[in-house]
Structure 1
Amino acid sequence: MAKMLDEIKTYWQQIKNEYENKYVDSFLRDYEKSKEFLQRMQNYLLKEQTEFSNSIDIVCTLASVKLELRENKDDCIKLLNDFLNKFENIFNNTQKARIYTNMAFYADYSTLTLKYLKKAFNLKSNFSQTYKGLGLYYFSEYEIYQDNKILSLSKKYFEIAKNMSENYENNFNYAVCLYELNEYEKAKEIFINLLKQYPNRMRIMLCISYCEAYLKNKEKSKFYLQQVKSDIDDNYHLETDNISEYEIYNVYYVLNELDEYLNYWSEDDILKYYIADWRHYFYALWIKNKKELFFKFEKQYKEYFKNSIKEAIIDEDYESEEEKQEFIDDCKKESKEFDEIIENIKNGILKPEIKLPLYPEYSCFMIDCIRHNF
């Protein structure tokens, strides 16, 4: 079986080199140009499959190629499921776990994702991707339900993945769970170790700053924070390496450095965001006597809600009266909540707390991914 996978990877490398020599560009970056070469790869695999019909290497790679050819993910699942049903009796648990983990990725965080990953888990999968997938699935559920029991499950599986494969993502994801569970010292220790391996990585310095902020180490938090730049990191290129401005600025609010917090938010910057529910921002304006800007945004959002409701009433483009009424009701609710925020701040409420959230790297956990593992 290893020989077959080696042959597949050799052919893949061949067409990859051919593409890159022809276009002087990375393979798969441009879909239209890559399509012809992907189809050649697919044809090669289909031909090999006629001779080696029970090859897991062939069918798993074929599913990945079909995904790159923008075929429906459900079709990729069906391809693997039909194959498994046909040859299940000749495969061992490790081989079945490999297929189930790949199927879980195509299921795209639906309930089927959990179903397939649990099957792989129950087969005692020795693939770290299985546990990474479970960690990501449960974290996505945690984001919805904000239940620490779910978060603890995510942590459990990320820890298994980390112990099986000590790469950047597995360590990062595990540390994020520790952080979200308020285990700031443990999370900080992992982030500091990652910073040693990946110098000047903006996301990691921001993570350390967050930990120090909640550990009440203001100067240490600011030390790391002042080195962080927003937008895409020039040296690292995961999704989590892209940092938004507010992820930096909000730390100053948590540190109670309200002058610095407000100094970072120019009026042009703040206009990029919907801030009607930003209790902390309006609080900072009020406490720091930025009343002119406070009243300006108060008036702006009151008019926004009023005009939105007025326009919705006369708008005839809604598909139904129910849809229109639902929008109007939502606007009225948001308007009422905004009025309450403003009045509470004027009446001297305590400083609203905000959470500095972290998220794992939601990346590929497919075992046989031609884009990431070939």
Structure 2
Amino acid sequence: MTSNRRWIWIVLDSCGIGAAPDAQSYGVADAQSNTIGHVASAVAGLKTPNLAKLGLGRIADVAGVESTTVCGAYGKMQEQSSGKDTTNGHWEFVGVILDKLLPTYPQGFPREILSPFEQYVGKPVLANKPASGTVVIEEYGKIHMETGRPIVYTSADSVFQIAAHEEIVPVATLYDWCTYARSILVGDHAVGRVIARPFKGTLGHFERTDNRRDYSLTFGNTVLNALDDAGIPVIGIGKIGDIYGGSGIQEAIHTHDNADGMNVLLKQMDNWSQGVLYVNLVDFDSKYGHRNDPIGFARAIEAFDVQLADVITKLRDTDVLCITADHGCDPTTPGTDHTREFVPLLVYHHGIRQAIDLGIRTTFADIGATLADFFSVKNPQAGSSFWHTLSSGFSHQS
């Protein structure tokens, strides 16, 4: 029976664990990347006893993370999808392999996109180039505040980002602009995400707010839809609901930061007796990876580890905890973009009594296949389940 089972799923956004075999084809920085390894070295060793117990130090050599006393299942996963973005990673988790690169715009967006967008907004855009989000608002923030013109920019990923000051452009208006942009970014220009990037403050002191929203493409049915069809709730915490465009998500809860995301997760563990509690912790990526801050990144992992202890304490005998990442964003390599990396895979339930090596998984979709097995719903078309390896000692009470 699966009526009281829960899958507690935590995505540590950007916490890659070493260059993927095909990283060289994505760039020099990618080939040199090892996000967790490099941020651990930057602080002369991570203090993460809970991640250590789950097996993080068995996946790779991570400074400060011991690998002897392990009681969990561990491995790493290689992405099959083309790309190295949130969209690619999360959709592959649930069974969708994107074998074609989503469109990117290293020279900025063409007039065929910008003209209808500017007509809708009523003003010409600013920037229109690849840029760091914090840098671009400092560069164009003053003229934006004087004119109300939206700051439009992109990155190495397939994204159309719109930044606006909350006192100049109401957040609801920014969301409306994004909704329109999503409607015209189709066909050859079907970017993975349109992202609302509101900010506040004054010149020299601008800062992005937590009213960010993502408007994602959807790519058909996934294991999340199979769960929904079976009446098994999926609760999306953080940007999870946005990433999947709400598809297969029963309830979406936006969060302020990593700590809030974990607090919401803990609260939802009290509220839901079955289903999938699925959280993305984005601070690693947005606050530290893209901003080339390895020390801040390391401290954020350590802070997560403290809250992880509370999650483990609240696990029931019929719960499974799964921790992974969607890509890398190594703050020590050149540039500020995501990096093509293996991602860690840590899985735990109270029936596990010793270390279990899950090996190198050839696709992120193995999580979705395992999730389908766990809840006895239809498997996605990609991925291989590792549930049989984990199920020994698991409580089968209904």
**TM-score of Structure 1 vs Structure 2, range by shorter chain:** under 0.3
TM-score normalised by structure 1 residue count: 0.26
- Which structure carries more strand by proportion? 2
**Larger relative contact order (Cα-Cα within 8 Å, sequence gap ≥ 6):** 2
- Which structure carries more helix by proportion? 1
TM-score normalised by structure 2 residue count: 0.25
Instruction: Work out which of the two has the higher radius of gyration on C-alpha atoms and give 1 or 2.
Output: 1
